[in-house]
Amino acid sequence: PIFKDEDMRSPIICILGHVDTGKTKLLDKIRATNVQTGEAGGITQQIGASFFPRDCIEKNIARLPEDLRVGCKPPGLLIIDTPGHESFTNLRSRGASLCDLAILVIDITAKDLEQQAAESIDILRKSNVPFVIALNKIDLIGNREWRVLGPDASSKLSLESQAPHVQHHFHKNWQWLQGKITEKKGLNMEYYWKLLEAKQAPVEKSKQKKSKGKKGKAETPDQAIDDITSADSYIHVVPTSAISGEGIPDILMMLMRLSQEQMRGRLEYEDEIAATVLEVKRIEGLGVTIDVVLTNGTLHEGDTIVVAGMNGPIVSTIRGLLTPQPLKELRVKSDYVHHKAVKAAMGVKVLAEGMDHAVAGASLYVARNPAEVETYKREAMEEVDGAMQAKESEGVYVMASTLGSLEALMAFLADEKVPVMGTNLGTVHKIDVTKASIMRERGHPEYAMILAFDVEVAADAMLEAERLGVKIFTAPIIYHLTEHFKAHVAEQHE
């Protein structure tokens, strides 16, 4: 490609996989903070973004043996964590649709291709996102006989330094899992170092050819390796441990290589804005802010923005642009750095009036003139209307904090055959209670309830609920809500 290295933006990388495979822990290990222990039930409920600057990546890569090292051209890596629980398919999809590249985390002690790993592979294929596999929890191999070579050591070296029977155990586990994955998903996978060696091989071979001249049959042994490189369909497998940090330098190196060698063309910085609202949050002293993933373009203080709102499109002006200190999670409260402008790719907190009802998960538009304002108002709302449309004439009332979690909750409730009559986003208000109470009038008191995920309930809404006989169930974990629903319906039928 023709653009200069300076014009390369950071790739956006999303981390996917089955529940509890160690996605958050891997990021924590790089970040050396610990978001994971603060999560409800240990489950990641929202998407968070972390920016890892180039110098952090370079320090990690320097831990690798010399032949594996690589220079870093993009300004850094922007990594989006996603939850692995089955009810968050939509958050996984949203993460995947935002990203250039992904990490699929697989637990090396798993006995089979797990359900959400399979689903993640499907999502990544559908959105055409290349990915690497982090083969995590290597420290549990060989009945914990794994010896840590050193904190944050190269996993290639660490593996080679294990006792022969531990190495054997490792390869056997992976072979078994690999067989399952290939059988179910038809993927070709290989340890990353073998693939890198293979890519070097054709060069060596052509050197040999020059010195030895043409030799028909002598090429056969190399043929398989040639196929690996030419097919380019092999997925790089990187053993990791989020506990010891082994393999962290290896995976960061692989992400850098793929970014600058295979995907460079896609990573040219462009001026046209592409941005998504991840979260809408009230911050003390700042009011209601929106956390945005900026994939392309530059946001400036003073820009006119258009965002979908729960009661219609919101047009506002950017009053401030904040980024977290490097290496801190966007959703963890910390000191922010203020900017006049923020260039993609970056996670950024946007300060603007009127964001109270902005819809998380929606696109953010920058309008340059009144005509564009009108166009984007229409586009913004079209996106949201699809998700908000319910519903049965008889059923429960559902509320959630973001567009993504509402979609996830709706999908989950559909699976569980829970009928839904109405939906809304944000804090539960009196009006929501009134709407839910209609089920009583229609002779379905068992449906006169609000299932509220990850939102607050206003005080007057609670009083109104008591007065009208509407149950409000709130839960920080989606699947607990259906437990509430079932218990309540059973109770009503008694």
Point out which residues bind ligand GTP (CB under 6 A). 17, 19-25, 36, 42-44, 83-85, 136-137, 139-140, 241-243
Which of 23, 29, 236, 349 contacts Mg ion by CB under 5 A? 23
Residues numbered 445 to 474 that lie near Na ion (CB under 5 A) are none
Tabulate helix, strand, coil % of the chain (nearest 5): 45, 25, 30
Cis amide bond preceding 194, omega within 30: no
The residue within the footprint of Mg ion, chosen from 44, 89, 155, 259 (CB under 5 A), is 44
**Residues numbered 223-262 forming contacts with Na ion, rule: CB under 5 A:** none
Number of Cα atoms under 13 Å in the Cβ half of residue 148: 15
Count of CB atoms situated within 10 Å of the CB of 441? 10
CA distances from 420 to 265, 393, 469 (A): 45, 8, 18
Which residue number has the CB closest to ligand GTP?
84
In the complex, the smallest distance separating the C-beta of residue 33 from Na ion, rounded to whole angstroms, is 16
Type of residue numbered 267: L
One of 21, 24, 93, 405 touching Mg ion (CB under 5 A): 24
Helix, strand or coil, per DSSP, at residue 365:
strand
Cβ closest to ligand GTP, residue 139 vs residue 432: 139
Question: Closest distance between Na ion and the C-beta of residue 242, in Å?
Answer: 11
Alpha carbon distance, N-terminus to C-terminus of the chain? 70
Q: Point out which residues pair with 191 in neighbouring strands.
A: 237
Q: What is the closest distance, in whole angstroms, from the C-beta atom of residue 92 to Na ion in the complex?
A: 14
Q: How far is the CB of 356 from ligand GTP (least distance, A)?
A: 29
**Which residue is listed with tokens 């009503």?**
492
List the x/- string, 15-54, binding to Na ion by CB under 5 A: -----x---------------------x------------
Nearest CB to ligand GTP, comparing residues 118 and 274:
118
Q: In the stretch 178-217, what mask flags binding to Na ion with x, by CB under 5 A?
A: ----------------------------------------
Interacting stretch for Mg ion, rule CB under 5 A, among 39-47, 95-103, 295-303, 337-345?
A: 39-47
Minimum CB separation from ligand GTP for residue 173, in Å? 14
Q: E strands within 368-493?
A: 396-400, 420-425, 449-453, 471-475
Closer residue to Mg ion, CB minimum distance, 27 or 181: 27
User: Per-residue x/- marks for Mg ion, 179-198, CB under 5 A?
Assistant: --------------------
**What CA–CA distance (Å, rounded) separates 306 from 364?**
6
The answer to whether the Cα torsion of 163, 166, 170, 175 is positive or negative is: positive
**Measured at CB, which residue is nearest to Na ion?**
42
- Radius of gyration for the alpha carbons in the chain, expressed in angstroms and rounded: 25
Q: How far is the CB of 398 from Na ion (least distance, A)?
A: 24
Token pair, residue 163, equals: 């006792």
Pick out residues in 419-448 that bind Na ion (CB under 5 A): none
- Rounded CA gap, 48 and 46, in Å? 6
* Beta strands 341-343; 298-300: pairing state: antiparallel
**Residue 242, binding choice from ligand GTP, Mg ion, Na ion, none, Cβ under 5 to 8 Å by partner class:** ligand GTP
If contact means CB under 5 to 8 A according to the sort of partner, which of ligand GTP, Na ion, Mg ion, none does residue 140 touch? ligand GTP
Which SS3 state, helix, strand or coil, does residue 242 take?
coil
DSSP of 89-102: HHHHHHHHHH-SEE
The Cα–Cα gap between 39 and 49 comes to: 15
Residues that bind Mg ion (CB under 5 A): 23-24, 44
Residues that bind Na ion (CB under 5 A): 20, 42
